[in-house]
Amino acid sequence: MKASAFAYARATSVADALELLTAHGERAKVLSGGQSLLPAMNLRLIAPELIIDIGALTELRGVVVKEGVLTIGALTCHADLLKSPEIAAHAPLLTDAVAHVAHPAIRNRGTIGGSLAHADPASELPACMLTLGATIIARGPGGERRIAASGFFAGIYETALAPQELLVAVELPVPPKNSTHFFHEFARRQGDYAIVGLAAQAFVRDGRFTDLRLGFFAVGDRPLLARSAGKLVDVAITPAVLAEAASALNDELDPLEDHQATPAMRRHLAKILLARCVSSLLARPELRAGASA
């Protein structure tokens, strides 16, 4: 199990990386953390002709908070996200989510930019980007492009990035004070890809949601920002309301079948997650089994 031969270029700057991408386009692959790319190459599932290693571009690494915007460089690795006090303070949902990404040795190499550009529908960070209303910043031959997370994920391993573009950063609006979050996923073993997962951000006032964003993952070919969340906003949540939202959620899902679960099981687990999320965010244990009854 050895990768096919390829040529290697160590990008010295973003401009250099873009030049290489422009010259080689789809024949090239950008190597960021490599934690998804290299397994695929070792298994010879893909055999790029050129690897453009952006690992030395330190300007793409780091977390900055400025004027209500959290900017995370594409090369920031999962371990850094997990340890970042800025993220813990301003996007704790992300901190919770990253703890579920694979294992420590993988988190030391894997990057947020790599994860988003890879666009595995079962991975955690893409869904978080939807929930948090992130903007993906890409640079290409024509300059910088800002892509809303809602329009970024286009399918299994597919994104709105053009072959000549490089994902350089993400921007997250800092959620308002007192907003709350919920993250949970069902995975067979610690660090495994989720069977179904949910990254939620909410604002609760007087026992009601005034805002609720539900980013589901592993429920289709891309992460899903559930519209059905709307059914839970500005209403008193009863089991009936929750059941209605679950039913609406069911209509939004288009889950895939794999070794771990049938589509029916994914639909079921998504509804369980919805109930647990609502129950947890509203601190109402009696709703926990609500939608599943």
Partner 1 sequence: MTAAVEISLNVNGERVEANVLPRLNLADFLREHLELTGTHVGCEHGVCGACTVRVNGDIVRSCLMLAVQTHNATVETIEGVSDSGEIADLQSAFRERNALQCGFCTPGMLMAAQDLLKQSPCPDREQIREHLSGNYCRCTGYQAIVDAIETTARARAGRLT
Partner 2 sequence: MTTARENSETLSALDRPNSYIGKTVPRPNLDRLMQGRGLYVSDIELPRMAHVVFLRSPHAHAKINGIDASTAKQMPGVIAVVSGSELSTVITPWVGVLSHLKGLKSAPQSAIAVDRVCWQGEAVAAVVASSRAQAEDAAELVSVEYEELDAVTDMRTALDPATAVIHASLGDNLAFERNHDAGAVDQAFAESDEVVEAEFVFGRHTGVTLEPRAVVADWNAAEARLTIYQGTQAPHMVQNIAALHLGLKESQVRVVCKDVGGSFGIKVHIYADEMATYALSKLLRRPIKFVADRVESFNTDIHARDHRCKGKIGVTRDGTITAFEIDDLTGIGPYSMYPRTSAIEANQVVNLVGGPYLTRNYRARARVVFQNKNVMCQYRAVGHPIACSVTEGLVDLAAMKIGMDPIEIRRRNLIADDAYPCASPSGLRFEQLSHHASLAKLIKMMGYDALRAEQTALRAKGIHRGIGIASFIEVTNPSAAFYGVGGAKISSQDGVAVRLDAQGSVICQTSITEQGQGSESLTAQIVGSVLGVSMDRVRVILGDTDITPYGGGTWASRGAGIGGEAALQATKVLRKNILDVAAAVLQSTPGDLDIVNNGVVNAADGTPRIDLSELARIVYFRPDTLPPGIQAEFMATRHFVPREYPFAFTNGVQASWLEVDTDTGFVKLLKHWVVEDCGTIINPQLVDEQIRGGVVQGLGAALFEKCVYDERGQLTNANMADYLVPMSGEMPDIDVGHVVSPTLESELGAKGAGEAGTAGAAAAVTNAVNDALRPFGAIITEIPLTPQVILTALGRI
- Closest to 130 in 3D by CA, of 189, 201, 179: 201
CB of 241 to partner 2, least distance (A): 19
SS3 10: strand
Position 17 contacts partner 1 (CB under 8 A): no
Within 148-167, which residues bind partner 1 (CB under 8 A)?
A: none
Burial class (CB in 10 A: 0-12, 13-18, 19+), 38: middle
DSSP 188: S
Within 265-284, which residues bind partner 2 (CB under 8 A)?
A: 265, 267-269, 272
- Share of the chain residues as helix, strand and coil, in percent rounded to the nearest 5: 35, 25, 35
CB 167 within 8 Å of CB 161: yes
- Measured from the CB atom, the residue of 50 and 129 that comes closer to partner 1 is 50
Q: Hey, what are 198's tokens?
A: 């949910």
Position 38 contacts partner 1 (CB under 8 A): yes
Within 34-73, which residues bind partner 2 (CB under 8 A)?
A: 39, 43-44
- Determine the size of the site formed for partner 1 (CB under 8 A): 33
Position 191 contacts partner 1 (CB under 8 A): yes
217: which strand partners? 197
List the one residue from 25, 68, 85, 104 that touches partner 1 (CB under 8 A).
104
- Measured from the CB atom, the residue of 56 and 265 that comes closer to partner 2 is 265
List the one residue from 152, 186, 203, 209 that touches partner 2 (CB under 8 A).
186
Q: Hey, what are 1's tokens?
A: 């199990």
Dist. CA 248–CA 231, nearest whole Å: 8
Strand pairing class (28-31; 50-53): parallel
CB of 23 to partner 1, least distance (A): 12
CB of 102 to partner 1, least distance (A): 7
Binding partner selected for residue 108 from partner 2, partner 1, none, CB under the kind-specific 5 to 8 Å limit: partner 1
In angstroms, the Cα distances linking 193 to 100, 123, 139, 153, 182 are 9, 6, 29, 18, 18
Ordered DSSP codes for 22-35: HHHGGGEEEESS-T
Residue type at 14 in one-letter notation: V
Position 31 contacts partner 1 (CB under 8 A): yes
List the one residue from 58, 142, 177, 189 that touches partner 2 (CB under 8 A).
189
* Residues at the interface with partner 1 (CB under 8 A): 1-8, 10, 31, 34-35, 38-39, 41-43, 49-51, 53, 55, 79, 102-106, 108-109, 189-191
* Residues at the interface with partner 2 (CB under 8 A): 1-5, 39, 43-44, 186, 188-193, 195, 259-262, 264-265, 267-269, 272, 289, 292
